[in-house]
Amino acid sequence: MVRVNSTNQAYDFLRPWSKEAPFVRRGLGVVIDNGRILVTAELVANSNYIELERADSGEKSVATVQVIDYEANLATLSSTDPKFLAGMQPVQTTTHVKTGDDLSVLQLESNGTPVSTRALVTSVEVGKYALEDSGYLMFRISCPLQFRENSFTLPIVKDNKLAAFLMRYDSRSQTVDAIASPVIEHFLTEAQHQPYKGFPRAGLAFSPTRDPQLRKYLKLQDSDGGVYVNQVDRNGPAAKAGVKEGDVLVAIGDKQVDPDGNYLHPVYGKLSITHLTTTEAYCGQQVTMTVIRDGMRKQLSVELFRRSSEDYVVEPYTIGKPPRYYILGGLVFQELTRQYLREWGANWLKDAPQRLVYYDRFQSDLFPEKRKIVFLTQILPTQDTVGYEQLNNLVVEKVNGRKILNLDDFAAAVKNPTDGFDKIEFEEDPHEIYLDAKQVDEDTAQLQKVYSLPALQRL
Amino acid sequence: MIRCIALVAFFIVSDAIAQVPKAVDIRKSLVRITATSQEQDYKVPWNPGSTTVGVGAGFVIDNNRILTNAHVVSNARFIVVEKEDDPERYPALVQFVGHDCDLAVLRVLDKGFFQNTRSLGFGGIPAIESPVTVYGYPIGGDRLSVTRGIISRIDFQTYTHSAIDSHLAVQIDAAINPGNSGGPVMQDGKVVGVAFQGYSGDVAQNVGYMIPTPVIRRFLKDISGGHYDGYVDLSITYFKLLNPAERHALGLPDNEQGVMVSSVSSEGSSQGILQQGDVLLTIDDHPIASDGFVQLDGERVEMPEIVERKFKDDTVKFGIWRDKTKQTVEIRLKGNWPYLIQANHYDSPPRFVLFGGLVFQPLSKNFIDAYQIEDLRLRYYYDYFVTDEIYKTHPEVVVLSNILPDPVNAYLSDLRFQVVDSVNDKKIRTLEDVADAFAQKSDYYVIHFVGSVRPAVLERSAVEQARDRILGNYNVHKEQYVERGLTH
């Protein structure tokens, strides 16, 4: 184990030219093979500076992120000093963990002595990880933990092998949500290949078929089991293989799907079928989905792949990456991201601009085409924006007659003003505004100076 | 309009100074109104609703009528009126009610009621800082109460009774409490307003509002035809043309005139006449300034104020700037029904359909308030019903609002608050469509919802078996109510 101290600084999505105040997160990393150190992605998200510290000697070294997966909440680091880990023993992982097993959560005393706390696995299930959209295998563990330095994330071991990584601890109920070893193994295996492909998804959503009236209507036998496919991502793996909304998914490979969407795992017991397509299988692999459509069984071969955050109309997360923006005469334009909406705080679903929250939530239904939502976020008042001061959070449809599907379109469109004016058309009131293109150009230097903007655009 | 009003007020004030003001015996005009109301229960829509008794004030006006607030007599089942110095209680009926302006006219069945009463006349808008007297029956005792205050502010305010309408209102520093509602606010022997709303002491002290006489006069004129049509609306939004670049781009001179039409509601008066992008230069020959104000008799008032004074089927004339040329258009005025989704609804029972223990209700303000809806899609459909013209595909947004648990719907609880898209492949546009679809004989009723949501399937035989059980267990005496109440 090594101490990992990461100084992180996220971008401020309300002022996309700035970063928020930096803060430090301290956790523990585990030395695995080839000089790699495993940590959670949260620990080093938006990191500016990562420091490793040996518990035995107190010796420090700078580390860099090798591979990071925010969805699986895992990352590998390496020291810039190749000799830093000399003499340390790499740890193996184990997937032989069952409900009822005794594990140990490891911490370090301030003097470097390892402390181990006994922990009981209370359940194994697919649960929510750090990002709301991603669910992977999780060990729920009961254990009383005391706060110590570097406790942000902690390794959990069984028989001296890594079994899990502490991701969340609730001190009131004394329960731990831990990243389960099958997820860790999937990540480490995939991380050995360049480029890193991540965890695949089937690209479908399902609901139970317990309702006897629904089963009768769908002409399902009791022995069929199966779940009702209520959503298929456009261009996702399931869609490409021909899975359709309304199909009943009864098997994945040789695993039968029960009416609640579970299958029988040899070690963990009943488990959501999500685990089969996200963690058991790798990107590029084929799985066979058996569906019942109009009472007929069909077998479809699905090639699994990952959908990256960038592929969404509204990116579900933007971490370690600066937000794109374009400032035109004091009007600030950005591409909509969930991170922007999250700036409204814990109650962002209620407090953030409702139209934008709605666009994010129902993006797959609302926007069939590949695009981003470019919108006017705010106004830095100048003489060019007189009368526009109250405008904000307006989605841009066209600029100078050109349809705007991303910020690059926007940047290109403002190069071609019509009769000397930039015409910006919004989806809602006031529907259209104009800027004097020449005047905006002349005022740009002053705008940048008055508002101390480091740059007027980032594309 | 404000200027016009101020002028009228000026005359009245000077008139009052010239003559000794007539003392009015308010006891001959003031009426105490006790209304027993049944508030609709949107969560249990077949319930008649709980009864509450409220006290308000009113006053006698010409032709043996009583004027009061709409909110004093909304949802009323039984109304009695009392005079000062008369022990008798007289049953009364609502003759006209304007929920959009919070005014109502009552009729007393016993004509003897009006013997020895004196009808009050109306004044204009009192001047800022001038004193007024408020009469009513506010909390703190049972008998007539008199308070005095001065005129603090004259401005547009939201009328909270409907929650979407704003009209001119006058703020006074006499507290207006429950029971003051409907009472006259007097100056120099004339009614200058009807007390109607205030703030609770937690928010602000000594802030009360009265409905000024232009709004009252408009209401009385509207009902003189025997029916209350209500306010009419241009049903457009407009953008102030304050930006020089925007003015130049639109080809307008720097004369500080004109506002740009930013949207035209497709169910409103201006549909087919005005277009997005039109610049409104004049309204009824009054030039419109670039901030949307109009010069009327030397006073600046907001442009829609011109329309506030008009009635259904009146016309308004606009000088517009379209395709860089001047044109004139005329608009025949009417209301705009889609807005009403966001208005409080009174006087008719909640509409619903119950089938297989599933309750279907149209989205409305009363519905949103009763259920404290936080569902994202419902909030969006409600908030953007007008702006995004959701009414074009869903004149009513029919929601699976509740599920009365029973074996027939045991697996459907997760579908609560979904919006109904179709029943047995028939698109659902209104609550009537839902009632019709369930009235059709079919082995299965397959309910599809908006978005990527699984369908609900009800087997007719199962629904029929469950019917009496559900009606009995949940004390449902009516399985549907789909009739539409009057909008005003």
Domains A204-303 and A310-458 share a fold: no
- Which three-class secondary structure string do you get for chain B? CHHHHHHHHHHHHHHHHHCCCCCCCHHHCEEEEEEEEECCCCCCCCCCCCEEEEEEEEEEECCCEEEECHHHHCCEEEEEEEECCCCCCEEEEEEEEECCCCEEEEEECCHHHHCCCCCCCECCCCCCCCEEEEEECCCCCCCCEEEEEEEEEEEEEECCCCCCCEEEEEEECCCCCCCCCCCEEEECCEEEEEEEEECCCCCCCCCEEEEEHHHHHHHHHHHCCCCCCCCCECCEEEEECCCHHHHHHCCCCCCCECEEEEEECCCCCCCCCCCCCCEEEEECCEEEECCCEEEECCEEEECHHHHHCCCCCCEEEEEEEECCEEEEEEEECECCHHHHHHCCCCCCCCCEEEECCEEEEECCHHHHHHHCCCCHHHHHHHHCCCCCCHHHCCCCCEEEEEECCCHHHCCCHHHCCCEEEEECCEECCCHHHHHHHHHCCCCEEEEEECCCCCCEEEEHHHHHHHHHHHHHHCCCCCCEECCCCCCC
Residue B224 near chain A (CB below 8 Å): no
Domain match, B249 and B115 both = no
pLDDT in tens, B245-271: 999 999 998 888 999 999 999 999 999
Task: Please determine, for residue B1, whether its predicted confidence score (pLDDT) is greater than 70.
Answer: no
Nearest to B454 among A230, A435, A439 (CB): A230
Residue A211 near chain B (CB below 8 Å): yes
pLDDT at B106: 97
Domain match, B307 and B410 both = no
Domain match, B211 and B256 both = no
- Asked if residue B123 belongs to a domain, the reply is yes
Answer yes or no: B71 catalytic. yes
Q: Do A433 and B243 touch (CB under 8 A)?
A: yes
Task: Please determine, for residue A430, whether its predicted confidence score (pLDDT) is greater than 90.
Answer: yes
Domain match, B215 and B147 both = yes
**Residues from chain B contacting residue A330 (CB–CB below 8 Å):** none
Domain match, B343 and B322 both = no
pLDDT in tens, A207-249: 999 999 999 999 998 888 999 999 999 889 999 999 999 999 9
pLDDT at A74: 96
Q: Do A428 and B387 touch (CB under 8 A)?
A: yes
Domain match, B326 and B344 both = no
**Residues from chain A contacting residue B379 (CB–CB below 8 Å):** 354, 358
Q: Which of B413, B417, B454, B459 to mutate to test the interface with A (most CBs of A within 10 A)?
A: B454
CATH code of the domain covering residue B163: 2.40.10.120
Residue numbers of the domain that contains B401: 339-481
At residue B37 the predicted structure's pLDDT band, cuts being 50, 70 and 90, is very high
- Asked if residue B47 belongs to a domain, the reply is yes
Nearest to A230 among B411, B452, B458 (CB): B452
Residue A96 near chain B (CB below 8 Å): no
Residue B389 near chain A (CB below 8 Å): no
* Mean pLDDT, range B12-32, rounded to an integer: 60
Mean pLDDT lowest among A71-75, A191-195, B201-205: B201-205
CATH code of the domain covering residue B328: 2.30.42.10
CATH 2.40.10.120 fits A1-199, yes or no: yes
Domain match, B125 and B143 both = yes
Count of the separate structural domains present in chain B:
3
How many Å lie between the alpha carbon of B340 and the closest alpha carbon of chain A?
A: 20
Nearest to B245 among A205, A384, A430 (CB): A384
pLDDT at A417: 96
Task: Please determine, for residue B15, whether its predicted confidence score (pLDDT) is greater than 60.
Answer: no
| Domain end position, chosen among B172, B197, B223 | B223
Q: Do A354 and B248 touch (CB under 8 A)?
A: no
* CATH entry, A310-458, from 3.20.190.20, 3.40.50.2300, 3.40.50.1360, 3.50.50.60: 3.20.190.20
A vs B: CB pairs below 8 A: 104
Domain match, B144 and B18 both = yes
pLDDT at A93: 93
Domain match, B245 and B162 both = no
Answer yes or no: B102 catalytic. yes
**Residues from chain B contacting residue A388 (CB–CB below 8 Å):** 243
pLDDT at B298: 75
| Domain end position, chosen among B296, B313, B332 | B332
Given B37, B162, B181, B235, which residue is catalytic?
B181
Answer yes or no: B181 catalytic. yes
* Mean pLDDT, range B332-336, rounded to an integer: 94
Nearest C-alpha in A relative to B291: A387
pLDDT at B201: 65
* Mean pLDDT, range B118-134, rounded to an integer: 94
| ipTM computed for the complex | 0.91
* Mean pLDDT, range B305-327, rounded to an integer: 94
Q: Domain A204-303, what fold?
A: Pdz3 Domain (2.30.42)
Domain match, B370 and B295 both = no
- Asked if residue B408 belongs to a domain, the reply is yes
Q: Do B243 and A358 touch (CB under 8 A)?
A: no
* Mean pLDDT, range A125-154, rounded to an integer: 88
At residue B375 the predicted structure's pLDDT band, cuts being 50, 70 and 90, is very high
- Asked if residue B271 belongs to a domain, the reply is yes
pLDDT in tens, A247-273: 999 999 999 999 999 999 999 999 999
Domain match, B208 and B283 both = no
Task: Please determine, for residue B79, whether its predicted confidence score (pLDDT) is greater than 50.
Answer: yes
Nearest C-alpha in A relative to B409: A211
Task: Please determine, for residue B7, whether its predicted confidence score (pLDDT) is greater than 70.
Answer: no
pLDDT at B19: 39
Q: Do A364 and B462 touch (CB under 8 A)?
A: no
Residue A256 near chain B (CB below 8 Å): no
| Domain end position, chosen among B264, B298, B332 | B332
Q: Do A355 and B384 touch (CB under 8 A)?
A: yes
pLDDT at B131: 95
Task: Please determine, for residue B17, whether its predicted confidence score (pLDDT) is greater than 70.
Answer: no
**Residues from chain A contacting residue B262 (CB–CB below 8 Å):** 429-432
Task: Please determine, for residue A200, whether its predicted confidence score (pLDDT) is greater than 50.
Answer: yes
Q: Do B248 and A436 touch (CB under 8 A)?
A: yes
Mean pLDDT lowest among B67-81, B92-106, B244-258, B395-409: B244-258
Q: Where are the domains of chain A?
A: 1-199, 204-303, 310-458
Q: Do B246 and A434 touch (CB under 8 A)?
A: yes
Task: Please determine, for residue B302, whether its predicted confidence score (pLDDT) is greater than 50.
Answer: yes
pLDDT at B487: 42
pLDDT at A22: 96
